[in-house]
Structure 1
Amino acid sequence: MHENQPHYSHITVVEIISQRDHYYLKVQLNKINQQSQSIIKPPLALITLKSDQLLEVGDDILTWLYLSKYRSQKNYAVFDKERYAFSERIFYKGKQIGSYIEISKSKNTHVIKSYRQFIKNTYQSSALNWLYYPLLTGDRSIMSYDQKQQLQQFGISHLLAISGLHIGLMFSIGFFITRAVLTGLNFVVKPLGQQLNLSLMYSVGGFILAFSYVYLSGFVVSATRALIMLGCYLLIYYYAKQALRWRSILFALVCVLLIEPFSLLNPGLYFSFTAVVIIFWVFSVIAIAKVGVMSLIQTLVILQVALFIGLLPLSLYYFNGISVIGLVVNLVAIPILGFIIMPSLVLLSVLSLLFDVTVLITVFDYLLQHAYQSLLLVPGEYRWLDTTKFSIQWLISSYIAIGIMCFSSWRVMACLPIALTFLDQYLQPKPLWQLDVFDVGHGTMVLVSRHGKGFIYDLGPVYFNTFTRINGTLVPYITSMGVEVELTLISHMDKDHAGGLTDWLHHGYRHTFRLLQPNGPEHGCKAGRYDFYDLTLTVSESAEDLKTDNDNSCVVHISDGHFSVLLPGDISAKRESQLIAQQSVLKSTVLLSPHHGSNTSSSDAFIRAVAPELVIHSTAYKGQWQLPHPRVITRFADHNVMQYTTAAHGQVNIAFYADQYTINLARDDESYWFLKD
């Protein structure tokens, strides 16, 4: 499709993400220019459109759209939006063109909508309605960011993702309800004698309730995956007459991948199947000889410890951290959820159809709210522990070691994969220092690091006066890499350079401005030469008689005596001429292009004075200013300078060694086959 041409589109609303001046929607693309898309699973898109009519999930819409391939910023060690979007089949972004729109209401989601509204109304007056609603519907849209963070810190966020635990609970509830009903109808069942397999009938009842639960959740991925696993296990159990057959895991995996191959890109697949393998293994090696409370507690403790250890590598790999008290909290939270919360919520929801249960809900909510508030008293440092980057090599070697420990008699050999990985990491040459230019769209955010200490140059843009790249990009990266930031400098106060200042101060980095900007970043920088762990930082004098903020950008030269980097902010050709006349330290190995590659900068004289081997343009993909400017690209090319742009290559990492440097590009390194053009 041509991105610059409007397309007559037939779409269905899947999710309403926001509704302000315009609707921001996740939609299903049914037809484009009268041509039908995939009948089984049409692609999805994120679009903006304007409608005076109230839109709802399930509405069919005919309108004209500009559509472009889904693309986001690409950085190391942070959440990969592109990969997640692809795994969710979100292939396009789009916006409405013109005013034509035709909306037809659909009744396909009437049952789900009515159910969700019923749950909202039933628990709307309770303090923990944000917890009950996602547990019963799978929809976490009413949860705040802080509430999600709290659950993650306690290691119980998985309790809200409808998965095997919830499906198992609903199956169990349905199983026992069916058994109670059939026992009550004994006078009907008894004459049939042995013709009935009562256990099979109980299981059918349980599966029907589990299926209904998944249907009402909107068939979210994790719930559907768990339901398939349950179905495969039941088929194996009743067909082969042998419980806990390992082949049921393989059959379930095959079914899941046949239905949704892209689930291979979803971390939930690996967490859920690993958890099932651990549970099967525990029950295969533990003989439950006694029936009683103590035996049940002992089994739960062993199972939770096994799950904690077995899922630890995945948690370190995907989340770069682990809940410190997660093991203890889960030992209490999972039984409470399984034996108290979920059965109570199901019972209260059913009873609310018959009569007013406000008093019962109030009492239930008061007790649970009191318990949750007690949990919040745990200090933050005891909730979550951030760790440095856990590589794929460590992930694989950890599970090889665990597999040897669990399934081999040669347990001592479990040390071998760990030792080999450690040796490989130890023998890898370590860079002396590194330069990271982050992909933040139109803006600048740079990290220079050496010996685990960091210098930040600019803090990136702010979007809609609300969103910055501090929380989603910079902080996760320095945490993952184990970098302690000691110095920060903002070149000038334009929003694309200082947009993240408020968030950076909120994270406690005010002290990092004291050396280079003692009066605050609003008052410019302090010129001079500074030593930063054997690197020399040279901050140039401010501009003479140039009053613009751009030309008063702080220009910083960083050198180890052999390789060097020049960070010039948004200076124009006038300031470049001054720097040359002042005989400032300019010659550098790497140059961050002035003013993002604007044609007002990067003069021939400046390029000759700097004589860079490579230049990095920090720009937005198809931004409104279309930077870097073609003439700038030509000027650098005429001087045989290698050029990289964050828009095209993502985060650019330069690792400097004693006599060489390497160039690492996030989009090249992490673009899998399914994302390549």
Structure 2
Amino acid sequence: MLGFILAICCIVVHFHLFYSYTLPVNKNIYAYPATVIVDDVISAKKPQYIKATLLKLNGDEIPKFKAPKAMLSLNVEQLVEQGDTFDAAITLRTFRAIKNKDVFDNNLHAFKQRILFKGKVLNKQLDINKPLSQSLIHNYRTFLKETYDKTELKWLYYALLSGDKSLMTSEQKHAMQTLGLSHLLAISGLHIGLVFGCFYFLSKYLLYFTQVTVSQSVNLTIIYSFVGWLCALVYVYLSDFLVSATRAFIMLTSFLLLYYIAKQPLRWRSILYALVAVLIINPFNVLNPGLYFSFIAVGIIFLVIKHLPKSNYRWLSAIIALCVIQLGLFIGLLPITLIYFNGVSIAGLLINLVAIPLLSFIIMPLLLLITLVSTLVDITSLILLFDTAVSDMFDYVNAIPMHLRWFETAKPNMLYVAIAYMSILLFWYSPFKRLVVIPLCVALVDYWFTPKPLWQLHVFDVGHGLMTLLEKDSNALVYDFGPSYFNRFSRTYSVLIPYIKAHNLKVSDAIISHQDNDHAGGAIHFINAGFKNSFKRFHPNGHTQPCVSAQYNFNGLEITSFGSTLYNNENDNSCVLLITSKQFSALLTGDISKAREQKLIKSHSLQADIILSPHHGSDTSSSPEFIAHVKPHTVIHSTAYKGQWQFPNENVVARYKAINAKQYITANDGQITVSIYKDSFSVTTAREHESYWFIED
């Protein structure tokens, strides 16, 4: 109980010290005068998007330990770079991103990085102060880039030696993930252990070959360990104290301290102390998936080591040990791997049997040696020879067909993940193995008796825009694709495709209501992702052409589209979609105005239980006659939070309220999901069920 109370106190203190900075009250001016330092350049092209630390705000200096970070957009003549400092007038508001289910959570990600605000630099020209001298980390990374510049796999060597993946393309990241080798790129326990081991033995052999006389009272093992520990600390520093690297270093430190104090390896106590240290330093590390991967992995290794089969041959024992440990890691990490990656690398189970020893005993030691020697002499020819051998091996592995190396699944239920780990622990520790049946039965009962929707309509939170997905029997129909910004940032890439993958859906059809950016901006990215054929039914003349009027059966649902080319504006030519089942119906309306509404209700019956308000809830739409005709029970407004048009309009809200319709707004509620059952339907929202207390509005 005392530990629980102390943990709560630690969280509260940490939150108020580092995460609770509030903007100064400034009612007289629109923007704050500020001094900022650029931490990272997210987008180097104009207009730039940067992550910055606020050093001074509204004339007040902020203590470094409490200085908040902000995401800022700026469009100035000069391009800013990492490390630059400048004074500017900036608009700021509390960081608040879109909120959708089962996809990357920007709000949580920003909180973990202490990004508390976002805003815009208003200056068109800046007086930028360049750093007088670059940091050691910057110089080290520049040296790595220059040393391995001519190599084919410089992105791999750079990531292994610095922890920075900025040189990697999305294709290279995907290849490493599907091969099950992504863990090799994150500086973690394996890398820290390798650096410690390399310099431990290096110092040991240097002392042996130099034949330095040392007093017998000196414990040389402590000296070797200290050298290895110190070099590991330098490695973590040069990685800019990455969370994974810092966590692994704390674990190494705990193990060494316990070992030399207690004179025995006390594995479980070292894990416990390391976990406590990590959480005391930052209790919000519990939000980091890497915490679970690393500590579960170490726990699995400690468990498996105690039960390794023996052999009369040392080399055979080593191979058996590697195979058993790898199998144990694969099984033990499988549940959380499915949660965070929506799949698992089958090939990785075998590839790692070769990759881990190769990295541990050849690649990583040689990289450290090459890097050290390169500081003294030019060994480019040897580096290229080394690169040729490694790249040939990588090309050979990368030639494995995709269907043989990656198995994609839907995201599992958290309850089933908890039950999986409970079953593993019961089977491993309990003398009564049959107790495993209990959690398995709980999972089966939950699966059988939890009501499952017949179909679902998802309205994603995409800011000002519209993106919806109709889901039935693992098939999907997409209606609109949300906005794209500067042709670089697309909600299709960040929301729609990840959601489709998370639920392992098959997209059969796609519809674009009209060509405005907030509806069609992400369509080209959807096509580039391999979904071009999904447009053929409703856009046979190409996705940039208006949809055709059609009616077809979508897995038991009747889909009716109403196309138009009669109007001289895109909004009124929007493709309207009516979805009808035996139970309920939904109407998707694009950006139609009152003129198109009147024409539709005169020629068609459009009664629907659920409706997407036309034109995001603009007063140019949702006429009283249209509302009286449709008679919706539930209305969904897809809008931006505090957007410039202030949708939904208060008059529109009042008109729907007059017929007692239940209203939801993506700006306030996040993603809105309507689940249709046999005799009823329910509405759930992303912000209602998934927000954390420390990032609530």
1:668 matched to 2:668:
no
Structure 2: unaligned runs, 5 residues or longer = 1-22
Give the match for residue 285 of structure 1. 307
Report the CA distance between 1:156 and its aligned residue. Answer: 0.6
Provide the secondary structure at the position in 2 that maps to 1:616: strand
The aligned length equals: 672
Give the match for residue 416 of structure 1. 438
Match of 2:296 among 251, 274, 288: 274
Match of 2:490 among 446, 455, 468: 468
The aligned runs of 1:559-574 (5 Å cut-off) are: 559-574=580-595
Q: Say if 1:58 and 1:108, in contact at 8 Å, map to a contact too.
A: no
Report the CA distance between 1:50 and its aligned residue. Answer: 5.4
Provide the secondary structure at the position in 1 that maps to 2:305: helix
Report the CA distance between 1:276 and its aligned residue. Answer: 0.9
User: 1:301 is aligned with what amino acid?
Assistant: C
Match of 1:44 among 61, 69, 77: 69
Give the match for residue 631 of structure 2. 611
CA 1:125–1:265: 2 relative to 1, 3 Å: same
CA 1:563–1:69: 2 relative to 1, 3 Å: same
Provide the secondary structure at the position in 2 that maps to 1:285: coil
CA 1:593–1:294: 2 relative to 1, 3 Å: same
Match of 2:123 among 98, 101, 118: 98
Report the CA distance between 1:228 and its aligned residue. Answer: 0.6
Q: Say if 1:64 and 1:100, in contact at 8 Å, map to a contact too.
A: no
- C-alpha separation between the residues in 1 aligned to 2:126 and 2:542? 51
Q: Say if 2:158 and 2:164, in contact at 8 Å, map to a contact too.
A: yes
Q: Say if 1:471 and 1:503, in contact at 8 Å, map to a contact too.
A: yes
Match of 2:534 among 502, 512, 531: 512
Provide the secondary structure at the position in 2 that maps to 1:311: helix
Give the match for residue 507 of structure 2. 485
1:374 matched to 2:399:
no
- C-alpha separation between the residues in 2 aligned to 1:417 and 1:109? 56
Report the CA distance between 1:415 and its aligned residue. Answer: 3.1
Give the match for residue 14 of structure 2. none
- Provide, for residues 524-551 of structure 1, a one-character-per-residue CA deviation record: whole Å limited to 9, x for no partner: 33334433233222323636x4232211
Q: Say if 1:557 and 1:585, in contact at 8 Å, map to a contact too.
A: no
CA 1:229–1:108: 2 relative to 1, 3 Å: farther
Q: Say if 1:586 and 1:610, in contact at 8 Å, map to a contact too.
A: yes
The aligned runs of 1:106-145 (5 Å cut-off) are: 106=131, 110-145=135-170
Give the match for residue 641 of structure 2. 621
1:256 matched to 2:278:
yes
Give the match for residue 345 of structure 1. 367
Give the match for residue 213 of structure 1. 235
- C-alpha separation between the residues in 1 aligned to 2:307 and 2:555? 54
1:196 matched to 2:218:
yes
- C-alpha separation between the residues in 2 aligned to 1:615 and 1:444? 14
Identity %: 44
Moved more, 119-128 or 474-483: 474-483
User: 1:130 is aligned with what amino acid?
Assistant: W
Moved more, 437-446 or 142-151: 437-446
Q: Say if 1:619 and 1:645, in contact at 8 Å, map to a contact too.
A: yes
Q: Say if 1:596 and 1:618, in contact at 8 Å, map to a contact too.
A: yes
Provide the secondary structure at the position in 2 that maps to 1:448: strand
- C-alpha separation between the residues in 2 aligned to 1:148 and 1:675? 30
User: 1:61 is aligned with what amino acid?
Assistant: F
Q: Say if 1:174 and 1:208, in contact at 8 Å, map to a contact too.
A: no
- C-alpha separation between the residues in 1 aligned to 2:252 and 2:300? 16
Give the match for residue 379 of structure 2. 357
- C-alpha separation between the residues in 1 aligned to 2:138 and 2:544? 51
Report the CA distance between 1:288 and its aligned residue. Answer: 5.8
Provide the secondary structure at the position in 1 that maps to 2:393: helix
The aligned runs of 1:161-172 (5 Å cut-off) are: 161-172=186-197
Report the CA distance between 1:179 and its aligned residue. Answer: 0.9
CA 1:250–1:541: 2 relative to 1, 3 Å: closer
1:7 matched to 2:27:
no
Q: Say if 1:454 and 1:486, in contact at 8 Å, map to a contact too.
A: yes
CA 1:117–1:290: 2 relative to 1, 3 Å: farther
Give the match for residue 418 of structure 2. 396
- C-alpha separation between the residues in 2 aligned to 1:79 and 1:306? 28
CA 1:210–1:290: 2 relative to 1, 3 Å: farther
1:425 matched to 2:447:
yes
Report the CA distance between 1:103 and its aligned residue. Answer: 4.5
- C-alpha separation between the residues in 2 aligned to 1:108 and 1:154? 40
Report the CA distance between 1:652 and its aligned residue. Answer: 0.5
Q: Say if 1:446 and 1:458, in contact at 8 Å, map to a contact too.
A: yes
CA 1:495–1:65: 2 relative to 1, 3 Å: closer
Give the match for residue 156 of structure 1. 181
Provide the secondary structure at the position in 1 that maps to 2:643: coil
Give the match for residue 576 of structure 1. 597
Match of 2:658 among 611, 628, 638: 638
- C-alpha separation between the residues in 1 aligned to 2:554 and 2:99? 29
Give the match for residue 7 of structure 2. none
TM-score, normalised with respect to structure 2: 0.92
Provide the secondary structure at the position in 2 that maps to 1:621: coil
Give the match for residue 338 of structure 2. 316
- Provide, for residues 21-48 of structure 1, a one-character-per-residue CA deviation record: whole Å limited to 9, x for no partner: 3443222223322444454353221123
Give the match for residue 298 of structure 1. 320
Provide the secondary structure at the position in 2 that maps to 1:150: helix
Provide the secondary structure at the position in 2 that maps to 1:98: coil
Q: Say if 2:551 and 2:559, in contact at 8 Å, map to a contact too.
A: yes
Provide the secondary structure at the position in 2 that maps to 1:548: coil
- Provide, for residues 289-312 of structure 1, a one-character-per-residue CA deviation record: whole Å limited to 9, x for no partner: 767322222211111111111111
Match of 2:429 among 407, 410, 413: 407
1:527 matched to 2:545:
no
- C-alpha separation between the residues in 1 aligned to 2:466 and 2:82? 38
Alpha-carbon RMSD: 2.2
The aligned runs of 1:529-568 (5 Å cut-off) are: 529-540=551-562, 542=564, 545-568=566-589
Provide the secondary structure at the position in 2 that maps to 1:183: helix
CA 1:288–1:62: 2 relative to 1, 3 Å: farther
Provide the secondary structure at the position in 2 that maps to 1:45: strand
Report the CA distance between 1:110 and its aligned residue. Answer: 1.9
Q: Say if 1:278 and 1:310, in contact at 8 Å, map to a contact too.
A: yes
Provide the secondary structure at the position in 1 that maps to 2:306: helix
- Provide, for residues 619-652 of structure 1, a one-character-per-residue CA deviation record: whole Å limited to 9, x for no partner: 2223333322222222222332221111211111
- Provide, for residues 243-271 of structure 1, a one-character-per-residue CA deviation record: whole Å limited to 9, x for no partner: 14201111111111111222111111110
Report the CA distance between 1:410 and its aligned residue. Answer: 1.9
- C-alpha separation between the residues in 2 aligned to 1:322 and 1:200? 41
Give the match for residue 46 of structure 2. 21
Provide the secondary structure at the position in 1 that maps to 2:54: strand
Report the CA distance between 1:509 and its aligned residue. Answer: 3.2
Give the match for residue 598 of structure 1. 618
Provide the secondary structure at the position in 1 that maps to 2:100: coil
User: 1:648 is aligned with what amino acid?
Assistant: N
Report the CA distance between 1:460 and its aligned residue. Answer: 2.3
Q: Say if 1:594 and 1:601, in contact at 8 Å, map to a contact too.
A: yes
- C-alpha separation between the residues in 1 aligned to 2:480 and 2:352? 41
Match of 1:173 among 191, 198, 202: 198
- Provide, for residues 653-673 of structure 1, a one-character-per-residue CA deviation record: whole Å limited to 9, x for no partner: 000112211111012111111
Give the match for residue 87 of structure 1. 112
Q: Say if 2:579 and 2:585, in contact at 8 Å, map to a contact too.
A: yes
Q: Say if 2:546 and 2:563, in contact at 8 Å, map to a contact too.
A: no
